[in-house]
Chains A and B, each alone.
Chain A
């Protein structure tokens, strides 16, 4: 009962924040609303028994990624674009389409019967890491995926540097030209 109350509160906050993202004009406001939404989702994770995931959500998502977003928005001052309307003809077409799709999916979803299993394991750090780093030959082998994710992040970093470097390089050449 209490869980339901918490869930409703957190859910309403998450949805509300999401709608704020949709309706805010300045990207910075949107980013802040997104952080709110994510934090409340982290709360829901904790509520259903995955505290570790909730913590990661707050730290990585709300913390690191959204930090990056706000940083970029601030760097690019021109991001605030008053000329473009928030919504246009396309939006009017999209919103009903997505709502209909969601309704259909929901309709299909409602036919299923879902119940929480009573014997679920709470996703604590210990449990999660044991599963994640189970290196037994018969195990699920998530550690391999973990390595791959590492490589992915590395390559993403390289890509980002590459994209930024070209830009910086051109700036540098511009400067040298000015000097000569």
Chain B
């Protein structure tokens, strides 16, 4: 019983699924954002897991991409929370369903 590459992928899949569920089924905006973060984390994990199946030099690349994705996640969180603050001030609500002004 050794650690298999597939296990990592399964774990990533489970976490990704949970992240998506959080992002969509919860109505609180904070949970929506956190669900997205969770899903991003799962993707990073998947990257690293796959990277480890590659030989030598190529495996390094698989570990660099998550770095970038973390940076992008940081930017996303920064802007996202700024927007949450603004919308919250206007609407006095963090309920995602109450933001339906764009519905035609």
Q: Which residues on A are within 8 Å of B, measured CB to CB?
A: 1, 3-4, 7, 11, 14-15, 18-19, 21-22, 27, 30-31, 34, 37-38, 41, 44-45, 47-50, 52-53, 56-57, 60-61, 64-65, 68-69, 72-73, 75-76, 78-79, 81, 84-88, 90-91, 94-95, 98-99, 101-102, 105-106, 109-110, 114-117, 119-121, 123, 127-128, 131-132, 140, 142, 145-146, 149, 152-153, 155-157, 159-160, 163-164, 166-167
Contacts and interface: CB of A to CB of B under 8 A. Distances in A.
Secondary structure class of chain A's binding surface, majority of residues: helix
26 contacts: A7-B8, A11-B11, A14-B15, A18-B38, A21-B38, A22-B22, A27-B31, A37-B15, A49-B52, A76-B84, A76-B94, A79-B28, A79-B88, A88-B27, A106-B13, A114-B4, A117-B56, A117-B59, A123-B60, A123-B63, A128-B64, A152-B71, A153-B78, A156-B74, A160-B82, A164-B86
A156 B71 CA distance: 11
A57 B5 CA distance: 20
A66 to B, nearest CB: 8
A21 B22 contact: yes
B57 A121 contact: yes
Nearest to A22: B22
A80 to B, nearest CB: 9
Contact of B34 (A34, A56, A117, A164): A34
Contacts of B78: 68, 153, 156-157, 159-160
B68 A116 contact: no
Contacts, number: 246
- How many chain B residues sit at the interface, stated as a range, is 35 or more
Contacts of B13: 102, 105-106, 109
B56 A121 contact: yes
B66 to A, nearest CB: 6
Given A87-B25, A115-B5, A167-B85, 16 more contacts: A14-B15, A18-B18, A19-B18, A27-B28, A34-B34, A38-B41, A53-B44, A56-B67, A68-B78, A72-B81, A88-B27, A91-B21, A109-B9, A117-B59, A156-B74, A156-B79
